[in-house]
Structure 1
Amino acid sequence: MPESTPWDDIAVPDTDFNVRQVGGQRAVPCNWGRNSDGECLFLIDLQGDHTSQYRRNVATVKGIGVDLRSAGPGLQRLVLTLERHVDRDLFAGLCRTLSASLADAPDSASALGIALTHIRRWKHFLSGRGSHLSPEEVRGLFAELQFLSELIGRQGAAVAVEAWLGPERSHQDFIFGNTAVEVKSLSGAERNSVRISSEDQLESLNDRLFLRIYRLSSGSGGPQLLSLNGMVGRVQGLISDPDAADAFERRLVTHGYAPLPEYDEPAFVVSEKTTYDVREGFPRMTRSGLPDGIMKVGYEIKLEAIADYECDEGNALEGA
């Protein structure tokens, strides 16, 4: 049975549209709505004239109509309309996330800016035909973003985002300078081994290759815990360059991520972080070392077997 949506109990009007206001105290009112064609709407009421801001920043999104309309003297309304090409449940999730982001908007200009930023993210996601991430994929993406945030602090946002090649199906998750880094996540309950998914993952043409492992503990709240959505927001806050921000959004889409409410849980904290220098003697299976006729190898490495290769975490951030 399909999940319920905010539009289920809104009647289809004969003309114009019917609305129901989103609950809670807000400086900028938001509404769920249906128009006379039965289409699902999300509407944001704005004080003043925001035409110039809208025209500078609006993005066209396949399957979603975006329109700024007059709503009376000194009033405008941003109207998002679900068209036939986008699933209603997905649109509901996107609008709920937008609604939550707008809850603390202090004024109409800020609200419109937040909305247009979200719409640009939706454009990337919908054009990439993203799907829901599995729990394992959520942990894996969280770990990659944790490393990305650290790399931004060391190398800057432009270099760090360009180095993030995991979404592009590169053999390693990060390549920068003459350094490659493969990032893995382990849940707190998992045994002390790490899964290597191919014979290429621990073989690199770069001079230096590191394996970074994050052990993630999960919970439902707390000051140090971050959900996947929270981690995405943290990284976005570290990127001020528009080109790097756009590249980051594209990589998230390629990874299959969209800012959906289900990624508000679980929340994680990095309980342990370990870096290994994948140098000569490191136990691994590589393409160059496989017998003829063997391909697509996956295997696990016991962490106790690579303890001698542990190194300072800063080594994986240098890019020398």
Structure 2
Amino acid sequence: MAMPEREHLSPDTVEDYFKSGVAAAFQMGTAVESVLEIDPSRQEMRLISPAQGSEPDVAAYERIAVERTSLIGRPGDWYQLTVDATSMHYEAYVLIESIVDQLEGGASFRHAVSESLSGFKDLLSGRRRMSDEKETGLIGELLVLHHALGRLGEDTAVGAWLGPLSEEHDFGFEDFDAEVKTTRSEARVHVIGSESQLQPVPGRPLYLVSVQITLAGAAAEGFTLPALISLIRTGLDRSRRAFDAALERLGWKDADADLYRTKYQLRSTPRTYLVDLAFPAITGPRLDEVVPQRVLVSGVSYRIDVSHLPFVAPPAPLDDYCEDHA
């Protein structure tokens, strides 16, 4: 892709470069040689400009680095400014564009970088959205929590939410435990992150709750993660502080809400699977039976496709949230 000189890229165009998966480079400056490189594989944007004057001091900035380097086929030394553009593609582009504008106006590279960085507090603070996997998992747990609030009341429902406490299972209801797994795929394929996630507590039934979400686009029923959090908060009074503390433990920050713009909707009605002796779970006791020198095996993680397994009607409060039975 080629960009006409000094044409300002729209947010959609910047996203297209990253989605293409192909590295791109083009000249941004007219009066000063300034090359913008977009590297989708590393989620980086780089600005390359002649190394004139002293090097900018960016040591305090988590997502920005500058090095003095030489380039094949280009005489002299060059400054390479690298921006970690993860989840902030357009913001990174605007920052680099601002630096180039300063250079075009006659500023030194050090001054151009310093002046431009001062106007990008969000980028400098190293704000990062949680990974897609964590966002997806949190959405699934919050959907179940929102339903439980309507059935159990806030004290019981929020108290039953154990996921943020790093307990083995996401919910501990009165008569059973539930492990919520959420996927964006068409099949009900879920990642099990440890050998204990699907290990029932003695005397308590364990159910795997399979939630499928998909992109909503402009659908009226679509929701973002911040919208879902806000919806739950409106129904809380006494448990608001406990809920906020739980979100914080999971990596959520209200100040970063604007980073979560994707809208989702349920792809299908959630299903519930009883984790019994016939369920294909990899657990500690099962590994003990078949793995020699079992003590040396750790960090068990695996994928499971429950699409064609028989599902069951779960007990209350999930009985009217999930499909009845296979």
- Pairwise TM-score range, normalised by the shorter structure: 0.5 to 0.7
Task: State which of 299, 303, 307 in structure 2 corresponds to 1:300.
Answer: 303
2: distance between equivalents of 1:90 and 1:171? 35
1:135-185, Cα deviation, whole Å (9 max, x unpaired) = 111111111100000111111111111111111211111113242110011
Equivalent residue, structure 2, for 1:239: 236
* Partner residue, 1:202: 198
Give unpaired runs (5+ residues) of structure 2: 1-82, 84-90, 99-117, 289-293, 320-326
Kept in 1, the 8 Å contact 2:152–2:317? The answer is no
State the structure with bigger RCO (CA 8 A, min sep 6), 1 or 2. Answer: 1
Q: In structure 2, give the amino acid aligned to 1:312.
A: A
Check whether the contact 2:222–2:265 (CA below 8 A) recurs between aligned residues.
yes
Give distance in 2, aligned partners of 1:301 and 1:316.
25
2:313 pairs with 1:312: yes
Name the TM-score, length of structure 1 as normaliser: 0.56
Deviation by residue 1:79-108 (Cα, 9 ceiling, x = unmatched): xxxxxxxx931799xxxxxxxxxxxxxxxx
State the Cα distance separating 1:299 from its structure 2 match. 1.6
SS in 2 for 1:211: strand
CA contact under 8 A between 1:210 and 1:316: conserved in structure 2? no
| Equivalent position amino acid for 1:160 in 2 | A
**Could you say if the C-alpha distance between residues 221 and 149 of structure 1 is closer, same or farther in structure 2, counting changes exceeding 3 Å?**
same
Is 1:271 the counterpart of 2:267 in the alignment?
Answer: yes
| 8 Å Cα contact 2:188-2:212 kept in structure 1 | no
Distance change >3 Å, CA 130–CA 306, structure 1 → 2: farther
C-alpha contact 2:200 2:275 (8 A) present in aligned 1: no
Greater strand percent: which structure? Answer: 1
Q: Which has the larger radius of gyration?
A: 2
Partner of 1:256: 251
Unpaired stretches in structure 1, ≥5 consecutive residues:
9-39, 41-86, 93-128
Structure 2 equivalent of residue 89 of structure 1: 122
Identity of aligned residues (%): 25
Aligned with 1:163 (options 155, 160, 165): 160
> Would the aligned equivalents of 1:196 and 1:299 in 2 still touch at CA under 8 Å?
yes
Secondary structure at the residue paired with 1:213?
Answer: strand
**How far did residue 213 of structure 1 move?**
1.0
TM-score, normalization by structure 2? 0.55
Distance 1:230 1:203, change over 3 A: same
* Matched residue SS, 2:209: strand
Report the equivalent of 1:211. Answer: 208
- CA distance 1:91–1:150, change in 2 (3 Å): farther
Contact 2:189 2:305 in 1 (8 A): yes
When the two chains are superposed, the root-mean-square deviation of aligned CA atoms in Å is 2.9
Q: Which residue does 1:146 correspond to in 2? A: 143
Q: Distance in 1 between matches of 2:267 and 2:194?
A: 27
Size of the alignment, in residue pairs? Answer: 199
Give the 3 Å change call, closer, same or farther, for CA 238–89 of structure 1 in structure 2.
same
Q: What is the aligned partner in structure 1 of residue 129 from structure 2?
A: 132
